[in-house]
Amino acid sequence: MLSPRGSAAESGTSAVRHLISTSDLSDTELTALVTRAAEFADGPVRSGEQLTGLVAGIHFLKTSTRTRTSFSAAALRLGAKIISFGPDDLQTNTGETLEDTAEVLSRMLDILVVRSAGDPADLRTLAAQPRMAVVNAMTADEHPTQAVADLATLLGHFGRVEGLRICYLGEGNNTAAALALTLSRFKGVHLELRTPFGYGLEPAIRGRAAANAAASGATVVELHSMDTPPEGFDVFYTTRWQTTGTSKPDPEWRSVFAPFQVTTALWDRSPEAVFLHDLPAHRGEDVTAEVLDGPRSLAFDQAENKMYAAMAVLEWCAGRR
């Protein structure tokens, strides 16, 4: 009978680590991931061998362009092999439990990257085994690796995250949640979220962000009006109004969101600000073409940084750094 695959300790690496929520990371770990992603983006880090000998599973139950490609490319660039699973490929569709699925996959894979847009508890079930690292590539409540890419983009552009003033406009979705949970941990950061009434952050997310801010010296404010225009910001950030995997019950929701569109008028009061967007963007809805395609936009650099963030996350989760 074949012996089971050796443990991480036996193979000379540290134990696997999961990234399901940024709240699971210490301040030191979060800063290290953001810094490492920025290092990959800046180019001095030699890649190609960090994940040699490992196999990563890429399991996406929802559509994705950037996140799926970024993790696939990141794994390959670091020397890992990948196996991709679509939404209908695993036997969970025929009734196999997540516990049994995790036990089987953990004997064949080293890392599993999952996008579900569903309950994050499912990822914790997958992570309840000692062999395979599990990475959240987006659930309904949070998009943690997007936040790593976003903060790496800020670090690369400004040379710091501390003390920045960021204004987020639009829905209080999983990207906004990830921003609130991470930026609130950096001293002096001011994060202002302008969200339509009824489309703000979940109360639990607001509470966790407020607790982070109280400990770090950051501030997080949520407003539901654009009557007083935002001013004095370093960054404006928005996302697609129709969040992936969701729908809105109000058929007139676009009229509610219209005042929160990012336009060039915002720069009258923040002339040095740059623009971020997690993409995909809908020109003429969440942002005008003049902003998205203009000289202040970092949106496509930010998209590229998702790959570098994925490299940092995979390297860390595998215990290879």
96-147: pLDDT as tens digits = 999 999 999 999 999 999 999 778 899 999 999 999 999 999 999 999 999 9
Distances (CA, A) of 181 to 8, 47, 150, 204: 30, 30, 12, 11
- E-strand spans in the chain? 55-60, 81-85, 111-115, 133-136, 165-169, 190-194, 219-223, 235-238, 274-277
Ordered by start, the domain boundaries in the chain are 22-142+306-317, 144-303
Q: What is the CATH number of domain 22-142+306-317?
A: 3.40.50.1370
Cβ atoms within 10 Å of 289's Cβ, excluding its own: 10
* Band (245; pLDDT cuts 50, 70, 90): low
pLDDT digits (tens, 9 = 90+) for 269-280: 999 999 999 999
Share of the chain above pLDDT 90, in %: 86
Model confidence pLDDT, tens digit, residues 47-70: 789 999 999 999 999 999 999 999
Average pLDDT along the chain: 93
321 pLDDT exceeds 80?
A: no
Tens digits of per-residue pLDDT, 74-89? Answer: 999 999 999 999 999 9
Whole-number Å distance between alpha carbons of 191 and 193: 6
What mean pLDDT is predicted for residues 204-224?
98
Same fold: 22-142+306-317 with 144-303 = yes
Indicate the CATH number for domain 144-303. 3.40.50.1370
Q: What's the confidence (pLDDT) of residue 47? A: 75
Q: For residue 244, what pLDDT band results from cuts at 50, 70 and 90? A: low
